[in-house]
Amino acid sequence: MASQPTTNEPTTRRRQLLGRLSLPERTYVTDALRTETVGGILLLTAAVVALIWANVWPHAYESVLDYTIGPSGPLHLNLSLDAWAKDGLLTIFFFVAGIELKREFVAGELRSLSAAILPVIAAVCGVALPAVLFAVTNSGSGGHPGGWAIPTATDIAFALGVLAVVGSHLPSALRAFLLTLAVVDDLIAILIIAIFYSSGIKFWALGLAFAGLVLFWFLHRRGVRGWYLFVPLALVVWALMHESGIHSTVAGVAMGLMLRCHRVGDEKHSPGERIEHLVRPLSAGLAVPVFALFAAGVTISGPALREVFTQATPLGIIIGLLVGKTVGIFGGTWLTARFTRAELNPQLKWADMFAVSVLAGIGFTVSLLISELAFPGNQALADRAKAAVLVGSLLCALVATVLLKLRNRHYRELCEEEDRDLDGDGIPDVYQQDDPAWQARLTKSAERAADEHPGTGTNELR
């Protein structure tokens, strides 16, 4: 009698966390992170220059920050250079963040629920726990709970700059997770800024800004092209949003989200991808470093450092970044795997995820911005908060460097495997191993090598 099929064998494979990216997604992530890495190095340099400038020539630094430029009417745009940096240049940064978020929703890791659940839960937990820890630390009489959002942000450029400086070879799956996490983190950050750090709303200006956004969307959807139309319109929308009392960076995110990021017909790149490719270097190479130059200049002295570790507000920021972000992101990821019965990529370990979680505790650009927004009438407290952001980010960078260095040899092997292209066709071999044509080309190359160099075969080529 024929044997009956076994009924207790699993019929579906468990979903894998941090698995291999598709080739188009890997190409996009590689290109995006290459620009962000260069921007991260510039960001680190700008932060160091700001610290030296503010501590060696403090009066010159303050005079530059307070220098006012711009028209006073009809809108109130007679702003200091410091304000232009955080309200103007950072709008470019959030515009790119909006495009990234839109692309992730339509073509990236967030396009399906199963793919989105990991970075979304990790990002939410990585925002919630630092806020809770900050609130607990500042619950006493000397605390300032209004700064709860300062330690909630992840700075992808700063993190990648650290990776570039220390020479860590992080596999593409971990880099993609870090990038997607930062994109979701940016969305949460802009919602926090719009909801909790906006005041004195002028509805006439907000209505006109909304009308400008509708016109922006309509022209884009009708296929109208031309920077000479969209750039002036974007400037008008930005100015009206600034006048309305809603933080002007919201305009950047809104316009980024309106761009079409899916391809139609025989398009090689969607409009959103093309514009992001043009604007990202401006954001990473100019806007964010200049903002850092104007925002990171805080006084570093013995008493100032002592206050960072003894006063509730700066201490809450450091605990939030180093402990809250790490435990929140790692815990959210582990719980996601546990309750969805997903398995981690066998080439990685949970220690790798923990190291990346520590690295994600680097909160620089958005954290510095929120430090100024949270304490508008108390510059001394804002400076202590910014000093805590710098100290907390530095501690996260140092701890993450140690943890990543312990696995760097393994990471290098994984990266070499991901990049190996034996047949030289420009496509990594890991994406062609099941293709008979690729196997035939590899065999022919091995035979040719064996004829030219006796003793060399397919095994040696592989």
Phi, psi values for residue 69, rounded to 5°: -150, 150
Rounded Cα distance, 135 and 129, in Å: 10
Cα-flanking dihedrals φ and ψ of residue 344, to 5°?
-75, 145
* Helix, coil or strand: residue 17: strand
Q: Encode pLDDT of 36-51 as tens digits.
A: 778 888 988 999 999 9
pLDDT at residue 179, rounded to an integer: 82
**DSSP string of 296-315?**
S-----HHHHHHHHHSHHHH
pLDDT for the residue numbered 403:
92
Q: How far apart (Å, rounded) are the C-alpha atoms in residues 65 and 80? A: 6
What's the half-sphere exposure (Cβ side, CA atoms, 13 Å) at 95? Answer: 30
Separation CA 379–CA 371 (nearest Å): 10
pLDDT at 286 (0 to 100): 92
Q: What is the C-alpha to C-alpha distance for residues 154 and 299, in angstroms, rounded to an integer?
A: 24
Q: Average pLDDT by consecutive 10-residue portion of the chain (462 residues)?
A: 44 64 73 77 91 93 92 82 91 91 80 78 94 93 88 85 75 83 86 85 93 95 89 95 91 93 84 90 91 89 85 94 96 89 84 92 90 87 92 93 89 80 71 69 69 56 49
Q: Rounded to a whole number, what is the largest CA-CA distance in the chain?
A: 94
Q: What is the pLDDT of residue 312?
A: 92
Torsional sign, CA 3, 6, 12, 17: negative
The first and second tokens of residue 50, run together, are 């700001």
Cis peptide before 74 (omega within 30 of 0): yes
- State the pLDDT at residue 244: 92
Q: What pLDDT, on a 0 to 100 scale, did the predictor assign at position 8?
A: 47
Burial annotation 377-389 (CB, 10 A radius, 16+ → b, else e): eeeebbbbbbbbb
Whole-number pLDDT of residue 451: 64
Report pLDDT for 167.
Answer: 65
In the structure encoding, which two tokens stand for residue 76, read together?
Answer: 């109130």
CA–CA separation, 83 and 89 (whole Å)? 9
Confirm if 240 and 75 have CB atoms less than 8 A apart.
yes
Q: What is the pTM of this model?
A: 0.83
CA distance 308 to 315: 6
| Confidence (pLDDT) at 1 | 41
pLDDT on residue 11 = 43
The pLDDT value recorded for residue 9 is 43
